[in-house]
Homo-oligomer: A and B are copies of this chain.
Amino acid sequence: MIGRLNHVAIAVPDLAAAADQYRNTLGAKVGAPQDEPDHGVTVVFIELPNTKIELLYPLGENSPIKGFLDKNPSGGIHHMCYEVEDILAARDTLKSQGARILGDGEPKIGAHGKPVLFLHPKDFNGCLIELEQV
């Protein structure tokens, strides 16, 4: 079912410093910050040859990553995203095997403009997994 690793998302306490570090210290290809008000984050994309890293910084009062940064002030890996071909079929397979989908179980349009779901970390080795239909 799962295909490529679409991205790894890292919540960071200082977006400019983290982007600068990936660009200048680690020598990666780093994009410009993009506000995603619908998702409560500002994102910087880092293009690696085979996948992406997404630096996440809270945007607005109800950012979904504010609590994560309160608990992890240095930042940390927030989630990883696997690609799927059919997100509804993936969801139904997962639910039939007892895995919990976060929220109301319906795909939302994610930061890349594609349908996404998040799976419950306790059902997946403590990892927050995003599925994105590609």
Would you list which residues of chain A between 80 and 101 have a CB under 8 Å from chain B? 80, 82, 93-94, 97, 99
A5 touches B5 (CB 8 A): yes
Looking at A50, A122, A126, the one whose CB has the most chain B CB atoms below 10 A away is: A126
Q: Are A48 and B2 in contact (CB under 8 A)?
A: yes
Q: Is A1 an interface residue (CB 8 A)?
A: yes
A32 at the interface (CB under 8 A from B): no
With a CB–CB cut-off of 8 A, which chain B residues contact A28? 1-2
Distance of A24 Cα from B18 Cα, bound (Å): 37
A10 within 8 A of B: yes
Given A8-B8, A76-B125, A76-B126, 7 more pairs with CB closer than 8 A:
A1-B27, A3-B48, A3-B49, A5-B5, A51-B51, A75-B126, A76-B127
